[in-house]
Amino acid sequence: MPIAKLKNISLYYETHGKGDPVLLISGLNSDSASWAGVCGKLAKHFFVIAFDNRGSGRSDTPKKKYSIREMADDAIGLLDRLQLKKCNVIGHSMGGYIAQELAIYYPERVGKLILETTASVSSTRNNMLFNDFLKRFEKDHDNEALMRLWAYWSFSPKTFERKNYIETFIKYASAYPYLQSTEGFQGQINAIASFNACARIKNIKSKTLIITGSADILIYPTESMELAKGIKGSVSEEIKDAGHCVHVENPDAFISKVVQFLMN
């Protein structure tokens, strides 16, 4: 079980494949396991690094407050440990916030940048929603109920029509042995609430691809498109009938867009 013991944090990570390095950064209430459906396919082309952000999975959960920038520093620490001077970066949702901070503050370390269903700031609605999730989980500690709520916000209506898909997702997700603690969830939502890169995304110089799901109701495609407007030279791709977790709902379409972008 690879653990990177960094200056202020210990992070769980996995590596797969060979080739140009690609760092996968997961979102809120998820970890490296969230990339399982695409990791193997990406590893056919690239050296893939997936890790658990602080406050999730098998990484440390600090008691003190922290920021998205500090989570980006964690990623840099991991790249240093792996002796990678430069890396392509894919960030999903909150992971996209972290990826933006990497591209802004460590431009020399970021090759190409892929931002999946993310934005330059977390909406007031979402900050309130996440706090309500936290209160409910603190009250009844019902993993299945929490995962069911996440499913309503994460997947498209078309996916709900797939027989047994949602119930299977909820069953396995709620039984995951490294589920995020309430302390970890609170730490991450506090970091999200303090994140705002609206005035800074103009400083991103990496060649950037923005992926959206046409049916994303958590971070609307219009919010993601503000990134396209603010990052000079960026390109965007919308995946039809996908919600907030494009790489989970439609891994083939996701892989196709990613491989084409990274290899051209």
Owner of token pair 């498209």: 156
Give per-residue pLDDT as tens, 105-127: 999 999 999 999 999 999 999 99
Judge contact between 48 and 15, C-beta under 8 A.
yes
**Amino acid 141: pLDDT:** 85
Instruction: Using CB atoms within 10 Å of the CB of residue 70, give its burial: 0 to 12 exposed, 13 to 18 middle, 19+ buried.
Output: middle
Judge contact between 141 and 117, C-beta under 8 A.
no
Tell me the sheet residues that pair with 238: 212
Segments making up each domain of the chain, as ranges: 3-263
Return the amino acid letter for 203: N
Q: How many helices (H) and strands (E) does the chain have?
A: 11, 8
Taking CA 102 as the corner, what is the angle to CA 13 and CA 242, rounded to the nearest 5 degrees? 75
Taking CA 4 as the corner, what is the angle to CA 84 and CA 91, rounded to the nearest 5 degrees? 60
Q: Which residues contact 115 (CB under 8 A, 6 or more apart)?
A: 91, 96, 99, 100, 208, 209, 210, 211, 224, 227
What sign results for the dihedral spanned by CA atoms 73, 44, 32, 82? negative
**Amino acid 96: pLDDT:** 98
CA distance 80 to 86: 10
CB atoms within 10 A of CB 252: 10
**Amino acid 22: pLDDT:** 98
Class of domain 3-263: alpha beta
**Amino acid 1: pLDDT:** 67
From first to last of its 264 residues, the chain has per-residue pLDDT tens of: 699 999 989 999 999 999 999 999 999 999 999 999 999 999 999 999 999 999 999 999 999 999 999 999 999 999 999 999 999 999 999 999 999 999 999 999 999 999 999 999 999 999 999 999 999 989 888 999 999 999 999 999 999 999 899 999 999 999 999 999 999 999 999 999 999 999 999 999 999 999 999 999 999 999 999 999 999 999 999 999 999 999 999 999 999 999 999 998
Could you tell me which of 217, 255, 264 has the C-alpha nearest to residue 237? 255
How many C-alpha atoms does 160 have within 13 Å on its Cβ side? 11
